[in-house]
Amino acid sequence: MSTPDRRTLIADTAIGLVASAGLRGLTHRAVDAAAQLPSGSTSYYFRTRTALIGACYQRLAELDLGDFHGDGQPSLPDRDAVAAALAALLHRWLTTGRARQLARFELSLEAARNPELESAFHRAGLGARARVAEVLGGLGAERPEESAELLVGWTDGLLYDRLAGALARSRPAPDLAELTVVTRRMVDAALG
């Protein structure tokens, strides 16, 4: 495994800090310390806090798209395969990828409040929607972009509910079988 470049290391570290401490814990100095970089390194690459948060958006988008393509499935031939792939992705994001998803939600709220960040956040999310539209189009969706918006919205809602919703702490992490049933219903509904 290769060592990440400095910008990637900084973005990954910043995402980890946001996941553990929220945005209040995201400072250039804190990133330097957590990444074990010389003081001033983060501000050299990302002069402002806005630029650092923008790097987080870009990195989250890269990682999420990597997860979409990570299973090596160039095409998903039917609804069952799509539901199983989405369930596996959700399971990963609710277990081993939990921190990254918490950071994504935290950072999305910042974009909603800060016009300087809004376009970077929305631009970062377009890749996932395009991939979902491509898959749903392959399954025969009449309006794949519209269907993708619904499926992504439902997926985000499920993630948020399980990670930060009112019952998140008292509810056990869903198992893959449960998620597969839920995602099959979501895919069927998105396809209408």
CA distance 92 to 82: 15
Report phi then psi at 18, rounded to 5.
Answer: -65, -40
What Rg, from alpha-carbon coordinates, does the chain have? 18
pLDDT on residue 4: 72
The superfamily in CATH containing domain 59-191 is: Tetracycline Repressor, domain 2 (1.10.357.10)
Q: Scanning the structure block, which residue is given the tokens 């910008």?
A: 7
Closest CA to 69 of 122, 5, 134: 134
End-to-end CA distance of the chain: 43
Quote the pLDDT of residue 64.
87
What is residue 71's predicted lDDT score, i.e. its pLDDT? Answer: 53
Task: Retrieve residue 184's tokens.
Answer: 């099959």
The pLDDT of residue 108 is: 92
Distance, CA of 41 to CA of 149 (rounded, Å): 38
Q: What is the pLDDT of residue 1?
A: 47
CA distance 92 to 154: 17
Please tell me the pTM assigned to this model.
0.86
Q: Where are the domains of the chain?
A: 59-191
Q: Average pLDDT for consecutive 10-residue bins of the chain (192 residues)?
A: 81 97 96 98 96 94 82 69 94 93 94 88 85 92 95 94 88 89 96 90
- Burial, 140: exposed, middle or buried (Cβ in 10 Å; 0-12, 13-18, 19+)? exposed
Amino acid code (one letter) for 23: L
